[in-house]
Structure 1
Amino acid sequence: MKKIMIVGAHGAIARLVTERLLAETQVELVLYLRQAERLNQYATNSRVTLVDGDVNDTEKLRQAMTGVDMIYSNLGGVDLGEQTKQLLLAMQQTGQTRLVFMSALGAHHEVTGKFGDWNEQAIHYFLPGFRSAAEQLVAAGVTYTEVRPAWLTDQPEISYETTTLADGFKGTEVSRASVADFIVKVIEDPSTYQKESIGLNKPNTDGDQPSWF
């Protein structure tokens, strides 16, 4: 049975992915997060291992990922570059190679025009971490799928299109359910989107900024 590790497992998209994987597949899950009691609803699930840990605790992280088949990182924050360094170090030490990595639009300076300018201002505090992480993924030699969603909504819909870096970025928004759907599909078929950075957006949402601003 395939075993998947989710790092940063309390994130909103990570929780959607967890629910879908438990409902639709037979995979086992290692859920790694700080304050693991926040996911105590899974404590008695025989397919789930809860690990209370910080990604900067390399020893605990390494122990938790030993023997898994694939890792999905839902890490974030202004120190994402340092967190990514520790994640990749643990992967190297345990021989892990397949990684789905949650990033952000703008991580590669790929969002142009007025929306690109707006996005730079809106998340300027976090972009250095995403950009550092993006560089590290390539340099580490792991088989990554970097996910760059547009601005996130909680709409209960699955409606999205994908773009590569060569395509440029499209749209301004996408639902968390859509991002979770993409991640679940990659987990189900790890041979897809290998060493690719994929943008996700809801079709026909182009504009100077997301619709609710």
Structure 2
Amino acid sequence: MSKILIVGAHGQTARIVIDRIISETDDSLVLFLRNSSRLNEYDNNSRVELIDGDVLNTDSLVSAMKNVDIVYSNVGGTDLAKQTASILEAMTKSNKKRLIFISSLGAYHEVPGKFGEWNEQAIAAYLPGFRESAKLIENSNTEYTMIRPAWMSNKDEIDYETTQKGEPFKGTEVSRKSIADFVMELLSDPTQHIDESIGLNKPNTDGDKPEWI
């Protein structure tokens, strides 16, 4: 049985992971987010601890990491690199090693063709944060797995394939349920994919843009 800290716990993918952990495992959770009342449905669950905090407040993260086994980051935004630096500093101070981190396609300029060109423009404001975060994590002393999903959908499906850093990214989309499923695989066996950056996409979705754009 593990104790898992989820940073950015109100995110859509994180919510899927939370519900699966509660229903499918005996693991306990520390849920870290701004305005923790947004997850007050877990108030009376003895396996869940809610912490209202700011990711940029490293001391708050250090406190939240007490006794946890795995840190799962679901944070985002244009200041992602600053948030990542705070998470990594807190992990160092807390002597925590295992990190699962949601990044993005394009973090390594790895998306080919017209879709890659379109993606560079579509998320131009966010890519510097993903790229700097990848460097920070790779240069840290954590045992990390970075997950680089394609454009996320809310489709009710689990259907995905993976690519490694250094390989061209495949596809244009992937469901949040698929991303959550891959996270669950890592949580069930945290020795998998250590120090790897994994691209995640739905097979056979190549194109110039995701289908809904």
User: What is the TM-score when the length of structure 1 is the normalising length?
Assistant: 0.99
Quick check: 1:122 aligned with 2:122?
A: yes
Equivalent position of 1:177 in the other structure: 177
SS in structure 2 opposite 1:54?
A: coil
Q: What 5-or-longer segments of structure 2 have no aligned partner?
A: none
Q: Indicate whether 1:150 and 2:150 are aligned.
A: yes
Partner letter of residue 3 of structure 2?
A: K
Q: Which amino acid aligns with 2:93?
A: Q
Deviation at 1:141, TM superposition (A): 2.1
Equivalent positions of 1:34-183 (< 5 A) are 34-183=34-183
Note the C-alpha offset of 1:7. 0.2
Structure 2 Cα separation of the partners of residues 91 and 17 of structure 1: 21
What per-residue deviation string (whole Å, max 9, x for no partner) do you get for residues 38-96 of structure 1?
00000100000000000111111101101100010001000000000000000000000
Alpha-carbon offset, residue 104 of structure 1: 0.4
Q: Give the match for residue 202 of structure 1.
A: 202
- Cα displacement (A) at 1:122: 0.2
Q: For 1:60 and 1:212, how far apart are their aligned partners in 2?
A: 39
Residues in 1 aligned to 2:97 and 2:139: alpha-carbon distance in whole angstroms: 13
1:99-155 CA-partner distances (Å, limit 9, x unpaired): 000000001111111110000000000000000100000111211000000001100
Matched residue of 2:100: which SS? strand
- CA distance in 1 between counterparts of 2:2 and 2:161 reads 27
Aligned residues: 213
**Separation of aligned partners in 2, 1:84 and 1:165:** 19
CA distance in 1, matches of 2:211, 2:33: 33
Structure 1 CA distance, aligned partners of 2:108 and 2:25? Answer: 33
Identity of aligned residues (%): 55
Alignment TM-score, normalising by the size of structure 2:
0.99
Question: Per the alignment, in what secondary structure is the counterpart of residue 88 of structure 2?
Answer: helix
Q: Matches of 1:136 and 1:5 in 2, distance apart?
A: 20
Separation in 2, partners of 1:142, 1:109: 23
- Structure 1, unaligned stretches of length 5 or more? none
Aligned counterparts of 2:95 and 2:83: Cα–Cα separation in 1: 18
